[in-house]
Amino acid sequence: MNNFEYCNPVKIVFGKGQISKLKDLVPKGAKVLMTYGGGSIKKNGAYDQVKAALQSFDVVEFGGIEPNPQYSTLMKAVEIVKKENIDFLLAVGGGSTLDGTKFIAAATKYQGEDPWDILEKGVAVEEAVPLGDVITLPATGSEMNGFAVISKKETTEKLAFASPAIFPRFSIIDPSLTFSLPLRQVANGIADAFVHVIEQYATRPFNAPLQDRQAEALLLALVEEAPKVFANPDDYDVRANLFWMATQALNGWLNVGTLQCWATHNIGHELTAQTGVDHGRSLALVLPGVWRSQRKEKGEKIVQLGRRVFGIDEQDFDAAIDATIEATKNFFKSLGIEATRAKYGVTDEVCQNVARIVDSRNAKFGDRANIDGAKIIEILNLCD
Amino acid sequence: MNNFEYCNPVKIVFGKGQISKLKDLVPKGAKVLMTYGGGSIKKNGAYDQVKAALQSFDVVEFGGIEPNPQYSTLMKAVEIVKKENIDFLLAVGGGSTLDGTKFIAAATKYQGEDPWDILEKGVAVEEAVPLGDVITLPATGSEMNGFAVISKKETTEKLAFASPAIFPRFSIIDPSLTFSLPLRQVANGIADAFVHVIEQYATRPFNAPLQDRQAEALLLALVEEAPKVFANPDDYDVRANLFWMATQALNGWLNVGTLQCWATHNIGHELTAQTGVDHGRSLALVLPGVWRSQRKEKGEKIVQLGRRVFGIDEQDFDAAIDATIEATKNFFKSLGIEATRAKYGVTDEVCQNVARIVDSRNAKFGDRANIDGAKIIEILNLCD
């Protein structure tokens, strides 16, 4: 095992009716900026519950954070935080609202000229406005990590940053808020959580049996629970189980001391920036291409996954890889995600654009840092 | 799933050579009380490494904390903390040293008359002297939780308390310090970690598939890795894997939103208080008795454990329970732990004593709170 440090100080407050605890979770006397997206929180009841819980606080609102939160939108919020002397940010919504709020928190305290440098140049974030959240979408795991992904339409970029300063102080997870989600979004969230685990697992044998088993535990539980939400969308326990899985899929736990390969996410982000394809669907499209292109590098872990998660007992190594890829695609199909390049508008031109942009940034993806523009085109040609 | 709150702020610093980071982990300018046990840290090198890392700090030492740390010993340390105006406690050693130090931290700030009331009467600990640790024994998981177990020889008691105030600020885990451990202690630690997971798992079906799978992940990894430490005691990766398993077996993660049954530990603690039997061995003795006595209540989870962890495919329900108990006993035997009442001096008189003491406290053990003195005697008669 490699040496590592791990600290995840997020306080999780999980269950029905927990939003009422906000009044004790938000620091006493804080002036709060409540951020949200396109208004779904007014339909699912979160908005009213938050306002009721915070009635003794001075709350300013900032709505309209879009899916794939945009730099230009978020910078407007930064202005408000400064002008209004906001002490605490409260994100109410899904991963995009929360990621956007993490960026607002970091950009407000940024000392340099252009906060975009946090994403583009990887300038370290040492300080941020404290934040918390009421998370309403099981998908990104942002509620229990120090990561965020931000987009810039003008330059078709979608980039990530990380800092301990942007860990939420608390995250309220009330699974009953997810009853009103369109099943398309539920499916996207499950695919996202599944691939979060895969990117921390499907690298190469590393003699970290606990991390392997823990990743497989999450995948087994996801594969077991996912069909139930489509069969019984009103079952609270199913919603609760899926939310807890999504939260744990990316809280840093699974990859301590081992390797990670974020190639599928990296390429997926580029496709979303180019075509607007849903994040979860971009991952379901790209993953089989990454595995087919990297079958030598990742073969042993893919076969282990197939055996332990999908119960594949094929003895031939190559056939076992193919069977695992097929089982994974079938899992995505069972969510209603039939991912093809044609469906998501991933033309040859889009592939060329992605390759060019990645090479222009001198980025190399994967745990071996060997995936450049040319490899990305190879991968995208192997997706369908 | 039940509603729950979870927050575990411990910073884990894991790997070879990490003790040197102490100088940045201990608060600047703090006057430190360094606590330790019987001197094993002078043999394994931890003592010298800690002293070197803290040479710019004012460090007072308190050695001699015994296995099953004694109230009377710890109260001597409390005097020193007060007299010397200590700001920070650093435990260097195993779970007993760390648990004892957690009690010193809580007892120093205790406002009432007798700090033993924290254990006996469950008086809540709101405040404690901040503490950190260099943990040298993979076993109790104390390095990543807010629990401690303290003993009182005079009254043959061994009791636990819990508080968020006694979470270590940081825990340094250098697996190479465990090379010098007697294999008997390694075996005890593995048994302890195994039963920690069991007590959070073997209750009744609760529709929490992720928590189930995560517990099974830990058990699978323990069963897989344990034989390697006896075959290759000098293998760093094996030592690292086992330590990380022990840490994760009791960091609160596995039981969120579900049930727990700590009957095996509760009874084991009483046996240790009476006879001095090693903690890990007391658990290996008691667990089969608990399962045999509670086969109706725990049957479904025992069978699931047998199937998923030990690969038992027995279809008959009762036979599957028996096979799982047998497999678990065989696992303990593979560690060199052949637990019998006769071996550990658990006479009928000891059993009667334990039953009497537990009843005098009006304690009832188990997730159904249905294990009283009479049940304990039944359990102890079913152990061998």
B181: contact with A, CB 8 A cutoff: no
User: In whole numbers, what is the pLDDT of chain B averaged over residues?
Assistant: 97
Most A CBs within 10 Å, among B4, B210, B244, B256, to test the A interface: B210
Angle formed at CA A39 by CA A36 and CA A43, multiple of 5 degrees: 120
Q: Give φ, ψ of B316 to 5 degrees.
A: -70, 130
Question: Which of B192, B380, B379 has the alpha carbon at shortest distance from B279?
Answer: B192
Residue B363 has a CB neighbour count (10 Å cut-off) of 16
A376 three-class SS:
helix
Task: Measure B123 CA to nearest chain A CA, in Å.
Answer: 23
Chain A residues in contact with B216 (beta carbon < 8 A):
213, 217
| Length of chain A, in residues | 384
B-facing residues of A in 30-89 (CB < 8 A) are none
The distance of B198 to chain A (nearest Cα, Å) reads 16
What is the structure's pLDDT at B106? 98
In chain B, what residues touch A5 (CB-CB under 8 Å)? Answer: 11-14
The 3-state DSSP class for residue A5 equals strand
Residue A204 has pLDDT above 90, yes or no: yes
Q: How many Å lie between the alpha carbon of A142 and the closest alpha carbon of chain B? A: 16
B217 touches chain A (CB under 8 A): yes
- Option in A10, A17, A224 nearest B209 (CB): A224
Q: What pLDDT band is residue B161 in, cutting at 50, 70 and 90?
A: very high
CB contact (8 A) between residue B18 and residue A7: no
Q: Which residues of A touch B4 (CB under 8 A)?
A: 12, 14-15
CA-nearest of B315, B296, B273, B317 to B366 is B296
Of the candidates B216, B332, B331, B226, the residue with the CA atom closest to the CA atom of residue B285 = B332
% of chain A with per-residue pLDDT over 90: 99
- Give every CB contact of residue B58 below 8 A, 6+ residues apart in sequence: B31, B32
% of chain B at pLDDT higher than 70? 100
C-alpha distance from A72 to closest chain B C-alpha (Å)? 34
Q: What integer pLDDT is reported at residue A8 of this predicted model? A: 97
CA distance B223 to chain A (A): 11
Q: In this predicted model, what pLDDT tens digit does every residue of A8-46 receive, in sequence order?
A: 999 999 999 999 999 999 999 999 999 999 989 999 999
Nearest CA in chain A to B15: A3
Cα–Cα distance, B101 to A1 (Å, whole number): 29
Residues of A in contact with B237 (CB under 8 A): 1, 207
| Mean per-residue pLDDT, A269-275 | 95
Pairing relation of β-strands A147-152 and A157-162?
antiparallel
Residue A39 is predicted with a pLDDT of: 87
Q: What is the pLDDT of residue A276?
A: 95
User: Residues A121-138, buried b or exposed e (16+ Cβ, 10 A)?
Assistant: eebebeebbbbbbbbbbb
Residues 6+ apart with CB under 8 A from A143: A10, A12, A98, A133, A135, A168, A171, A173, A247
CB-based contact (8 Å) between B213 and chain A? Answer: yes
Chain B contacts of A221, Cβ < 8 Å? 209-210, 212-213
| pLDDT greater than 90 at residue B39 | no
Q: Do B210 and A218 touch (CB under 8 A)?
A: yes
Q: Do A7 and B4 touch (CB under 8 A)?
A: no
Interior angle at CA B270, CA B268 and CA B273, nearest 5? 110
Distance, in Å, from the CA atom of A373 to the CA atom of A369, rounded to the nearest integer, reads 12
CA-based R_g, chain A, Å: 20
| Interchain CB contact of B242 with A (< 8 Å) | no
CA A128 to CA A165: how far, in whole Å?
A: 6
| Alpha-carbon distance A215 to nearest alpha carbon in chain B (angstroms) | 9
Query: What is the C-alpha to C-alpha distance for residues B38 and B60, in angstroms, rounded to an integer?
Result: 16
State how far the Cα of A378 lies from the Cα of A376, in Å rounded to an integer: 5
How does DSSP assign B162-197, residue by residue?
E-GGGS-SEEEE-GGGGGGS-HHHHHHHHHHHHHHH
Q: What is the pLDDT of residue A199?
A: 98
Architecture of domain A183-381: Up-down Bundle (1.20)
Residue A222 φ/ψ, nearest 5 degrees? -65, -45
CB contact under 8 A, B248 and A213: no
Cross-chain residue pair A241–B210, CB shorter than 8 Å: yes
| Cα Rg of chain B, angstroms | 20
B272-282 core/surface letters (b: 16 or more CB in 10 A; e: else): bbbbebbbbbb
How far is Cα B251 from Cα B141, in angstroms, rounded to an integer? 7
Which amino acid belongs to residue A345? G
Closest Cα in chain A, distance from residue B83 (Å): 33
A58 touches A101 (CB < 8 A): no
The partner residue sitting opposite B210, judged by closest CB among A1, A212, A245, is A245
Mean pLDDT, rounded, for A106-129? 96
Residue A70 pLDDT: 97
CA distance A250 to chain B (A): 14
Find chain A residues with C-beta within 8 A of B5's C-beta: 11-14
- Look at residue B225 and tell me whether its pLDDT is greater than 90: yes
CATH superfamily of B182-381: Dehydroquinate synthase-like - alpha domain (1.20.1090.10)
CB A123 within 8 A of CB A112: yes
Q: CB distance B5–A11 less than 8 Å?
A: yes
Of residues A2, A11, A208, nearest to B241 (C-beta): A208
Tally Cβ neighbours within 10 Å of residue B91. 32
Interface-testing mutation among B8, B196, B213, with chain A (most A C-beta atoms within 10 A): B213
Q: Which two tokens stand for residue B311?
A: 């690969």
Both tokens of A86, joined, read 């906001």
Q: List chain B domain ranges.
A: 11-176, 182-381
Q: Is B313 on the interface with A (CB under 8 A)?
A: no
Tell me the CATH class for A11-176. alpha beta
Question: Averaged over A97-118, what is the pLDDT?
Answer: 97
The pLDDT tens digits of the residues spanning A236-261 come to 999 999 999 999 999 999 999 999 99
B20 interfacial to chain A (CB closer than 8 Å)? no
A7–B9 CB contact, under 8 Å: yes
CB contact under 8 Å between B3 and A18, yes or no, is: yes
Query: What whole-number percentage of chain A has pLDDT above 70?
Result: 100
What are the tens digits of pLDDT across the range B67-81?
999 999 999 999 999
Fill in the DSSP letter of residue A169. S
The full length of chain B comes to 384
Q: Once rounded to an integer, what is the mean pLDDT over residues A271-287? A: 96
